[in-house]
Chain A
Amino acid sequence: MTELLVLVDHSGGAPRRITLQLLAAARAVAPALGAEVAAVWLGPGAAEHAATLGAHGAVRVHHWDSADAKGYVTLPQVEALAALVAADRPAAVLFASSNHVKDVAARLAVRVDGGVITDATGLAVEDGAVVATKEVFGGDVITTSRVADGHLPLIGVASNAFAAEESGGGPAEVVALDVAPSDAATAAPVTDAVVQAGAGRPDIAEASIVVSGGRGLGDASGFELLERLADLLGGGVGASRAATDAGWYPHRFQIGQTGRTISPSLYLGTGISGAIQHRAGMQTSQHVVAINKDPEAPIFQIADFGIVGDLHQVVPKLIEQLEARRG
């Protein structure tokens, strides 16, 4: 049977949340494509997670058990996938629309003359082809697109667009993928991998709740307050460009047109006016809460719940009450 391949996004030896969401997305379209869902795991660690991948619908996992996968920039993964695509002729490949994974898809698309669509929020099958729904221009316009006939569809799926769901399947069969990277693929080694994620807080793309701060925080110490709030809610912490430009919070947490796009269930913005450049990174969030002292701030136009007030008074009260609820 033809395979619908899911490229496993993993970190620290474990699949990231998006991987299970990708499997749910794959299961939704596989029957109409006449395909079965299979995973691809590049790098060590697949065997330990075969049960989880199987329970979420992967019948097998192609495993390239090599540290080279992440020991060099992008290309070893591209070569391994290209070899698998040539041998297997999958119906399509689904991948996480995260930065380093998109590079793999971009290079693979050139190599196999496929087509790439990133950040899909919905998938359907029409006339045997995968049709991807995508929200562009920060969610102002919703498009449907597909990859031209005769070319391998490489579809990047947005975080939180699909809910992970168990299929009741048994452990995925682990099938070894035997490739050796070329000299060209090992030209750019990774010499150091630095993990800076803080205190087990979820990444803003994966988190169900994101607390975000802007210019109104006044200084970097405002983010300590937001981190306390986020930790009470089990959420991630993001920032506007004004806040990252000021050096109050690291750039990788910047939400907006020149930063990252997030779609959590709940976005809670504090001290953020909600200029169009910021909204482009968060307005597809399911629920938006805004706390800002300016009643005219544009963020209130898209807020489901807004508080006109001083965040330095409101947020500590909010923390107090959430702590009290916890007992």
Chain B
Amino acid sequence: MRIVIPVKWVPDTAGEKHLDPGSLTVDRSVASVLCPVNEFAIEEAVRIKEAAPETETVVLIVGPEAAGPTAAKALSYGLDRAVRVTDDAVAGSDAIGTARVIAAAASTIGFDLLLFGNQSTDARTSLVPAMVAELLGLPSITYARRLELVDGGLVADREHEEGYDTVSSPLPAVVSVVEAINEPRFPSFKGIMAAKSKPQDVWDLSALDGLDTALVGAGAARAVVGTATPRPPKAAGTVVTDDGAGSSAAELVAWMAERKFV
């Protein structure tokens, strides 16, 4: 059993995010981190490996040289090795272009299970896992809040707005997980030290099997951003201090009534 965990290098979740004014793509010159949603996919992979030690876990990251430490961070949780795809030709890819690179890299590595987070904290489209599954002709078991490997397949609960669907699927499959699936551990000191000596391969696009490079990058984007404008600042609102006797509640009810909310 081999699990590949594609992770994303995203702008720090506590900071302001911007678009690069030239390319209108995410400005990645700011402090960047491992996308926190990926930690849940990593934790799930580590748990599977703990239960079945012959499992190999491989973190996959697509990004520039500067994304290297993010791959090391992922390894520090206990994953076995990393593959980083670094190629200037990837820059400016939309969700489909990115999915093509991940799909080709994952099949070059070879896998039984491809384990994503359900969304990234920057683009937040949730499109990539299903696109990768489509490119590889595999089931897309997205938004899993429970995942169980069974003989030759998997069972998962897929979260939606009103509850969840329990589904079963053969392997190989593409799965994305939501935060409800587990509680990620912190990397141990031992894990952080061990990550430094774990293999981290760096590939360019020519190393990927079956990738049509003409379909990757800004020129191949199917969704194209034309303009980007900062949101106008919001006018300051009314702030009242509660007197403990309910006066503020009355003021709020009056405010809501004026706006026809009650």
Contacts and interface: CB of A to CB of B under 8 A. Distances in A.
B140 A107 contact: yes
A258 B121 contact: yes
B127 A148 contact: no
B32 interface: no
Interface residues of B, number: 87
Contacts of B130: 74, 102-103, 106-107
Contact of B160 (A98, A137, A306, A322): A98
A11 interface: yes
A74 B140 contact: yes
Interface in A239-278: 241, 244-245, 250-252, 254, 257-259, 261, 265-266, 275-277
Interface string A103-119: 10111011101111111
A257 B121 contact: yes
Interface string B135-167: 101011111010000000001011111111111
A187 B237 contact: no
Contacts of B18: 137, 140-141
Contact of B230 (A102, A141, A189): A141
B14 A110 contact: no
B143 A145 contact: no
Nearest to B253: A321
Interface stretch (A43-51, A55-63, A296-304): A296-304
B197 interface: no
Contacts of B170: 187-188
A180 interface: no
A86 interface: no
B127 A102 contact: yes
Contacts of A320: 246, 249
Which 8 residue pairs of A and B lie closest in terms of their CB atoms, listed nearest first? A309-B242, A115-B222, A251-B180, A317-B246, A106-B130, A317-B249, A196-B163, A306-B239
Interface of B: 13-19, 24, 36-37, 94-96, 99, 118-119, 121-128, 130-131, 133-135, 137, 139-143, 145, 155, 157-170, 173, 178-180, 221-231, 234, 237-242, 244, 246, 248-253, 255-257, 259, 261-262
Given A100-B143, A276-B15, 10 more contacts: A99-B142, A106-B130, A143-B228, A188-B168, A192-B166, A193-B166, A277-B14, A307-B249, A308-B239, A308-B241
